Structure 1
Amino acid sequence: MKKLDEEHERLLSELDRRKMKRRKDSDEFKVVEGVIDPPTLKALYKLLNKGAISALHGVISTGKEANVYRGEDGDGNSVAVKIYRVSTAETDFMLEYIVGDPRFKRVKKRSRALIPQWALKEYKNLTRYHDAGVRVPKPLDIHRNVLVMEFIGDPKSSISAPMIKNVEVPSPVKTFNQLLRMITIGYTKANLVHADLSEYNILWFKGPVIIDVSQAVLKTHDNAKRYLIRDIQNITSFFRKLGVESENPEKIAEHILASGEE
């Protein structure tokens, strides 16, 4: 119990230290204040007790939906800790992607009730993608609005991987084809369509890694085809800027849809 109490104190002091940063760090101060509320702190404690995390460090990325922090597991290895906003979350757009999903039959429309379901949806989608062989962060654990995932980046320096839009892609044609294969495998083996794929949610670490899959829908979703075409349009548009010529996005989508029916 003494060791557990010490771990609690260490995590709490780290969180408190971040909340009490001087005004020169006011942006991070506001971010942490807006994400780590008392219920979230309880969720972090739960994951601490399970050994999923032992420390929480700097912000990797911030967004309207969630912030991602670098953390450590019980063995000191880097992990990514995604904390979904609860009190300040915008949830209206989420309903389009979760209502009708047979995995979530009782969708809560109030933000405080919907956010844990949204986080669980990302965990389930990551599991599907990972098990199918698509390069995504491996999901490690979840409790309510806190998701623990594999850290994508240099494990020695703990520097997180950049977005693909911020790197010089070494072989654009090869990478474009890799992503099309990932989309195809996601559709045919994971039975998912990302539904928001673009250069903003693809990391680059020894190749492309797809992230932010909370909105991904089952291929049986009424709008799955439309989302698939939109994903491909985004990818072809980005790679066109890198000199990659490709088929019409609708035709590429038709090939993928046909392969999913085999």
Structure 2
Amino acid sequence: MISDKKLSRMDERVDELRMRIKDSSQRAVLNDVFDDATLMALYELSKNGHIDALGGSFKTGKEANLFHAISKRDGEIAVKIYLISTANFNAMKEYILGDPRFTGIKHSRKDIILAWTRKEFKNLKRAEDAGVRVPKPYVTKRNILLMEFVGKDGVPMPQLKDVKLTREEALHILNRIIEYMCLLYSKARLVHADLSEYNILVDVDTMEPVIIDMGQSIMTDHFNADTYLQRDVANIARFFGKLNIPVNSDEVISIIKRKKEEGK
């Protein structure tokens, strides 16, 4: 029986979240998030000092839900919980099974999703070490990833798609994104593989982009790396094209690959 007061407060907080959801479909989703195994993993993270107060969800999706939390050690943090019962298992397999870092894992739903959680942690760490602005990863356990909360007072920074930019700001952000893609490819040896205006936040205090959602990111020696790199660049070119800022995709890809060659 768990007697730690901090863990009991977390349990009460989860119960409060359950009671607050009155819509039956939403309540079912919450039950999917906080299954017994996930609760036990949260208990362990709390017991080890990683979580002191668990708040509400600030982003929900088919693969994962994100919760705001407080840690005395790290301040505001994001708690990303992958949904074992509803995540798109088949789509995840495409990105996991070709990754040499995850050879030998079983092909079951649970094992793929647990590997995916570790994969995002590793990708964020590689990106951070390469100098890319990403949410700082702290720890992962089972289907839970703890990382820096990119926002303030529980309010996350907006996605790039929702930010009104001057032409000067847009050019600055575009150049920074290209710089980050170069660093990912040349130093982290990664391709984001789902980069778009939806997976880039903007720190509105500094007008700097923050790359997020790196679970699907692959190593540059992955057999689909070139295809995903081209798609990433095309997405960025399309978005900034709508802002009347032309981007030559072939030129950007050439720059990214040249930076990798120069770094050898």
Do both proteins adopt the same fold according to a TM-score greater than 0.5, normalized to the shorter chain?
yes
TM-score tier (shorter): over 0.9
Distance apart, 1:34 and its partner CA: 2.2
Distance apart, 1:258 and its partner CA: 2.4
- Partner Cα distance (2:21, 2:27) in 1: 8
Distance apart, 1:28 and its partner CA: 4.6
Q: Aligned pair in 2 of structure 1 residues 76, 27: CA closer, same or farther (>3 Å)?
A: farther
In 2, are the aligned partners of 1:164 and 1:204 still within 8 Å (CA)?
Answer: yes
In the TM superposition, 1:129-144 aligns within 5 A as 129-144=127-142
In the TM superposition, 1:171-210 aligns within 5 A as 171-205=169-203, 206=206, 207-210=208-211
Q: Which residue of structure 2 aligns with residue 225 of structure 1?
A: 226
Q: TM-score, normalised by structure 2?
A: 0.92
Q: Which residue of structure 1 aligns with residue 143 of structure 2?
A: 145
Q: TM-score, normalised by structure 1?
A: 0.93
- Partner Cα distance (1:22, 1:104) in 2: 37
The code of the aligned residue for 1:169 comes to L
Q: Which residue of structure 1 aligns with residue 236 of structure 2?
A: 235
Q: Which residue of structure 1 aligns with residue 82 of structure 2?
A: 84
Q: Which residue of structure 2 aligns with residue 159 of structure 1?
A: 155
Q: Residue 94 of structure 2: which of 63, 79, 96 is its match?
A: 96
Deviates more, 1:116-125 or 1:205-214: 205-214
SS at match of 1:212: coil
Runs of 4+ in 1 over 2 A off after TM superposition: 25-31
The code of the aligned residue for 1:43 comes to A
Q: Percent identity over the alignment?
A: 43
In 2, are the aligned partners of 1:54 and 1:76 still within 8 Å (CA)?
Answer: no
Mark the runs of 5 or more structure 2 residues left unpaired by the alignment.
none
SS at match of 1:89: coil
The code of the aligned residue for 2:9 comes to R
In 1, are the aligned partners of 2:50 and 2:73 still within 8 Å (CA)?
Answer: no
Q: Which residue of structure 1 aligns with residue 260 of structure 2?
A: 260
In the TM superposition, 1:32-51 aligns within 5 A as 32-51=30-49
SS at match of 2:221: coil
1:12-61 residue CA offsets vs partner (Å, 9 max, x unmatched): 000011112252x5565343222111111011011111111112111111
Mark the runs of 5 or more structure 1 residues left unpaired by the alignment.
none
Distance apart, 1:169 and its partner CA: 2.4
In 2, are the aligned partners of 1:123 and 1:147 still within 8 Å (CA)?
Answer: yes
SS at match of 1:103: helix
Deviates more, 1:180-189 or 1:89-98: 89-98
- Partner Cα distance (2:156, 2:13) in 1: 20
The code of the aligned residue for 1:259 comes to K
Q: Which residue of structure 2 aligns with residue 251 of structure 1?
A: 251
Distance apart, 1:261 and its partner CA: 1.9
CA RMSD of aligned residues (A): 1.8
